[in-house]
Amino acid sequence: MELTINHTRKTFAELPENLEALLAMEIPGKKKGIAVALNNRIIPQSAWLETFLKDNDSILIITATQGG
């Protein structure tokens, strides 16, 4: 099964159950300062747990960084 994450195709033996599980794999330990779009739709953090993934979904993950 495949997902496109930040414009890169990734193959999974088994898809993560939901968006929150995927984020735990991709950016472990980080929950703040993240914006996520699934198939060009912004998904609020409150909906990550109930947002289920399908083969060939496209996910864009943006993380905030500090700088000056």
> pLDDT tens for residues 9-39?
999 998 899 999 999 999 988 778 999 999 9
Beta bridge partners of 25: none
Place of tokens 């195709």: 9
Query: Could you tell me the CATH number of the domain that includes residue 19?
Result: 3.10.20.30
Q: Is residue 68 part of a domain?
A: no
Q: Is residue 45 part of a domain?
A: yes
Question: 6 near 61, Cβ under 8 Å?
Answer: yes
Token couple for 10: 């990734």
Q: Is residue 22 part of a domain?
A: yes
State yes or no: pLDDT of 54 exceeds 90. yes
Q: Is residue 17 part of a domain?
A: yes
Q: What percent of the chain has pLDDT over 70?
A: 99
Q: Is residue 7 part of a domain?
A: yes
Q: Total structural domains in the chain?
A: 1
Q: Is residue 48 part of a domain?
A: yes
Split at pLDDT 50, 70, 90, the class of 67 is confident
Q: Is residue 46 part of a domain?
A: yes
Write out the residue range of the structural domain in which residue 14 sits. Answer: 2-63
